[in-house]
Chain A
């Protein structure tokens, strides 16, 4: 008799998701699925609105990563106002946006590591759930918790200084930016009182990378083997192949490192990427059109980015990148838990980028906006903390938005998350009839490696209890567990 185990919703993941695991009569996992209850009304909501409102409107999508949506929308509108495709802005416009973006990535990656990852690593996936959280970390490792708090605070202050305010920031506008950085802000970020200065942020980022590497050395089997599976990888890269989280061309490599998307202009993304609809999930499944639904799906995010880029253009992160690449002998890294390693290398890179940008005089003077010949369509891409984010708009002669298409990072990672769940389910649940706390968390750990943000489409008011339902092949509930 086939059984179905449902984990609903997934704790410590934004929005609402549930996991169902089907077990057959022999105790073998026959199918695993991550279902996303996603609200897709936003694209219709912006239709009819003046295009210049989009960078602010899209922040309503998500209180988690509003900066990513803000910048992706602004980049799409750069094209519409004739300001080019991301590298045509004034130096001030582009660099202020980059500072905003790297500030956001820095705080997001720091939060993910200290809030989500460190409890699992410090207390173990099977650890007591009562202490396996940031409160537990704060009690046992208060210095580590302070670092998390302060790194997040530093990144938030960067966002505030560049976006103008914490809520519904208005910094990025079609064709540029609406403010310079002040001398006071620059001095504060560079040389603020300990610990809120960039050198401390870089030092703590190095500590975080070392923490992960040290843990890896002691737990190779877990880190290397947990939810590891081959996949394609997709991201923006700079035209010379460097890691670039703000702008570039689209590149994809397969599991062996062969380029399968050759540095194409993302304005043409519809030629290369398609989305499949499946009847059991509201979230679509993107894939590379040339390779089809079965073989064309890909991962995005920190792991994908370090697999697609050729180098990192900041010295400390490049050193870590070389070690990271050497571990897989230059081949793509397909180990899901190495996402954390990649994320922390990006954390360090972001801190280095912030320092470089803060020392750039273009931030404090120069033209803010550029415009050219208007167009009626534009695509904006950005490497959000969780991965590649697509915004695509068309407008009419009255400057109203007539079409919006968004592919958010979590949607891009839909199939990989399902793959990860399947691998873990087979590993920990085969032959099991009862669900333990450790099993539940193992599935969640696999999903959380992708840091999915489901609140792009769901209201983030709700609590996130965890529910497991064991169902037989006739969909009869035979066991239920909730925490």
Chain B
């Protein structure tokens, strides 16, 4: 089923800063699961931060899902559509998902259906390993992601062009 798709799941954060590594941890879990299920067409990437070259990475995808840790006061995780953003309130060497989608739109004239999975984190010190609560959030979000990847067309269709 999946071999007809070109899907990118991209987790980012610094796993050396505890829960900031939630995005990277999700990639490890999902990649392993996708491999065990022998699913095709689903690609993975992981980095400290998003940056401008990622506009090229997403340009030809049927579906993109970014995964990031969140410091915001959300329950456990939240999956939201990413719209192009011209917001410059980001640092020189990191970029928001909306910024990447915006760059992709302006440079490559395409907008891949893009979603952001935000997973709530709690601790951010110079340590490896997730906090107990973050681990639970990761597990819950993992179950959702498996469900979504079983039927990716659902997320593709749910994406509202802007």
Question: Which residues of A pack against B, CB within 8 Å?
Answer: 11-15, 41-42, 45, 57, 59-60, 63-64, 66, 111-112, 114-116, 129-130, 133-136, 138-139, 142, 145-146, 148-150, 152-153, 156, 166-168, 448, 451, 453, 455, 459-461, 463-465
Identity of the chain B residue whose Cβ is nearest the Cβ of A64 in the assembled complex: B93
**Which residues of B are found within 8 Å of A63, using beta-carbon distances?**
14, 48-49, 93-94
Question: Which residues of B pack against A, CB within 8 Å?
Answer: 14-17, 20, 24, 46-49, 51-53, 55-56, 69, 71, 86, 88-94, 99, 102-103, 106-107, 124, 126
CB distance A149 to B55 under 8 Å? yes
A293 to B47, CA, bound (A): 40
CB distance B55 to A461 under 8 Å? no
- Min Cβ gap B20→A in Å is 7
- Min Cβ gap A41→B in Å is 7
A15 to B91, CA, bound (A): 8
CB distance B91 to A460 under 8 Å? yes
A452 to B15, CA, bound (A): 23
Identity of the chain B residue whose Cβ is nearest the Cβ of A131 in the assembled complex: B86
Given that A14-B92, A166-B48 are contacting pairs, would A150 and B56 also be in contact in the complex, using a CB cutoff of 8 Å? yes
CB distance A11 to B88 under 8 Å? yes
Given that A134-B103, A152-B53 are contacting pairs, would A461 and B20 also be in contact in the complex, using a CB cutoff of 8 Å? yes
**Which residues of B are found within 8 Å of A459, using beta-carbon distances?**
17, 20, 124
**Which residues of A are found within 8 Å of B94, using beta-carbon distances?**
63-64, 460
A89 to B93, CA, bound (A): 32
**Which residues of A are found within 8 Å of B15, using beta-carbon distances?**
167-168
A144 to B99, CA, bound (A): 17
- Min Cβ gap A64→B in Å is 4
**Which residues of B are found within 8 Å of A463, using beta-carbon distances?**
89-90
**Which residues of A are found within 8 Å of B126, using beta-carbon distances?**
41-42, 45, 60
Given that A114-B52, A135-B106, A150-B56 are contacting pairs, would A453 and B93 also be in contact in the complex, using a CB cutoff of 8 Å? yes
Report the number of A-B residue pairs with Cβ-Cβ less than 8 Å: 112
- Min Cβ gap B75→A in Å is 19
**Which residues of A are found within 8 Å of B71, using beta-carbon distances?**
461
CB distance A59 to B16 under 8 Å? yes
CB distance B124 to A461 under 8 Å? yes
A465 to B91, CA, bound (A): 10
CB distance B92 to A116 under 8 Å? yes
CB distance B103 to A138 under 8 Å? yes
- Min Cβ gap B148→A in Å is 24
Given that A12-B91, A463-B89 are contacting pairs, would A134 and B14 also be in contact in the complex, using a CB cutoff of 8 Å? no
- Min Cβ gap B65→A in Å is 18
- Centre residue among A138, A168, A464 by max chain B CB count within 10 A: A138
CB distance A60 to B107 under 8 Å? no
CB distance A11 to B89 under 8 Å? yes
Given that A59-B16, A133-B86 are contacting pairs, would A111 and B124 also be in contact in the complex, using a CB cutoff of 8 Å? no
A130 to B88, CA, bound (A): 8
A464 to B91, CA, bound (A): 7
**Which residues of B are found within 8 Å of A167, using beta-carbon distances?**
14-15, 24, 46-48
CB distance A149 to B14 under 8 Å? no
List 16 A-B pairs, Cβ < 8 Å.
A11-B88, A42-B126, A60-B126, A64-B49, A64-B93, A66-B48, A130-B86, A135-B106, A138-B103, A139-B106, A145-B103, A167-B24, A167-B48, A168-B15, A461-B69, A463-B90
A112 to B46, CA, bound (A): 22
A318 to B66, CA, bound (A): 43
CB distance B91 to A153 under 8 Å? no
- Min Cβ gap A266→B in Å is 26
Known: A149-B53, A464-B89. 14 other contacts (CB 8 A): A13-B91, A14-B92, A60-B16, A63-B48, A115-B92, A134-B52, A135-B86, A145-B103, A149-B55, A149-B107, A156-B53, A459-B124, A460-B91, A463-B90
Given that A115-B92, A130-B86, A463-B90 are contacting pairs, would A148 and B52 also be in contact in the complex, using a CB cutoff of 8 Å? yes
- Centre residue among A13, A134, A146, A459 by max chain B CB count within 10 A: A134
- Min Cβ gap B109→A in Å is 9
CB distance A465 to B124 under 8 Å? no
CB distance A12 to B107 under 8 Å? no
CB distance B92 to A149 under 8 Å? no
CB distance A166 to B46 under 8 Å? yes
A134 to B86, CA, bound (A): 9
A119 to B106, CA, bound (A): 15
Identity of the chain B residue whose Cβ is nearest the Cβ of A459 in the assembled complex: B124
**Which residues of B are found within 8 Å of A57, using beta-carbon distances?**
16
- Min Cβ gap B71→A in Å is 6
**Which residues of B are found within 8 Å of A152, using beta-carbon distances?**
51-53
Identity of the chain A residue whose Cβ is nearest the Cβ of B68 in the assembled complex: A461
**Which residues of B are found within 8 Å of A135, using beta-carbon distances?**
86, 88, 99, 102-103, 106
Identity of the chain A residue whose Cβ is nearest the Cβ of B71 in the assembled complex: A461
CB distance A12 to B103 under 8 Å? no
